[in-house]
Amino acid sequence: MSLLIPQAGDIPLPDPGPISAPYWQGCREGVLRYQRCLDCGAPTHTPALMCAACASMSLEWVDSSGRGEIYSWTRVWRPVTPAFITPYVPIIVTLEEGWSILSNLVGCEDDSVAIGQLVEVEFHHSGGPDDIWLPYFHPRSP
């Protein structure tokens, strides 16, 4: 049993492009953002030029509540590179607005994770040339 914490080592960091820049700027500001279609209202993630539901090119960036629940999880003991401290817990979170994100679970013991667990986003400064703040998720009460 060990407390899950954000990775602090020399992990590979995102290299934001023009499409994703507003997402990472939101993370710097402590806000999880996603794209919503101006025509049909559907949410889209990962950052895209086109609505995943209706192929409209009219997308707007909106703020997520940052709250959701765990859709699936795994607990990794063989790290992808030696820079990662194990165990770490990749999760898919379904946000309240109905979109999915891949992240890591933090702020709890590694053996307490379960599908359906309510979680909320938090941001950790990873730095690098693009001043990255990575979104992680921790358990929350209803």
Partner 1 sequence: MGHPFRDVAIVGVFNTKQARVLEGYDSQSIALEAALGAIADAGLEPRDVDGVVGGIASNFLYQSRIGPAWRSMSPLGIPAVIEGAMAIACGLANTVLIATGEAGSYRQHASTAPWTRPTNEFVAAYGMFTAAEFALMARRHMHMYGTTPESMAHVAATIRNNGHVNPQAVYSGRGPFTADDVLNSRMVADPFHLLDCAMTSEGGTALVLTHADRAGDLAKAPVHLLGGGTDHYGPSYQHPPVWDLGGVRRPDLIAGHVGRRAAEEAFASAGLGPSDVDVCEFYDPFSFELIRQFEAYGFCAEGEGGDYVMSGVIEPGGRHPITTDGGTMSFSHGGASVQLFQRVIRGVQQLRGECVSSQVANAEVAMCTGGGAGALFTDVLLLGKDRP
Q: Select 20 or 25, whichever has its Cβ closest to partner 1.
A: 20
Instruction: For residue 123, report the phi and psi dihedrals to the nearest 5 degrees.
Output: -120, 140
Strands, sheet with 100-104, edge to edge from the N-terminal-most edge strand = 100-104, 90-95, 67-73, 118-127, 132-139
Rounded least distance, CB 134 to partner 1, Å: 6
Helix H or strand E encompassing 134: strand 132-139
Could you give the CA distance from residue 93 to residue 122 in angstroms, rounded to a whole number? 13
Class of residue 23 by CB neighbours under 10 A (exposed 0-12, middle 13-18, buried 19+): buried
| Residue 108 touches partner 1, criterion: CB under 8 A | no
* The one segment of 26-34, 59-67, 101-109 that binds partner 1 by CB under 8 A: 101-109
Q: Which of residues 18-77 bind partner 1 (CB under 8 A)?
A: 20, 46, 53-54, 71-77
* The one segment of 9-17, 31-39, 59-67 that binds partner 1 by CB under 8 A: 9-17
* The one segment of 26-34, 56-64, 100-108 that binds partner 1 by CB under 8 A: 100-108
Q: Which residues sit at the interface with partner 1, rule CB under 8 A?
A: 7, 11-17, 20, 46, 53-54, 71-82, 84, 88, 90, 92, 100-104, 115, 126, 132, 134
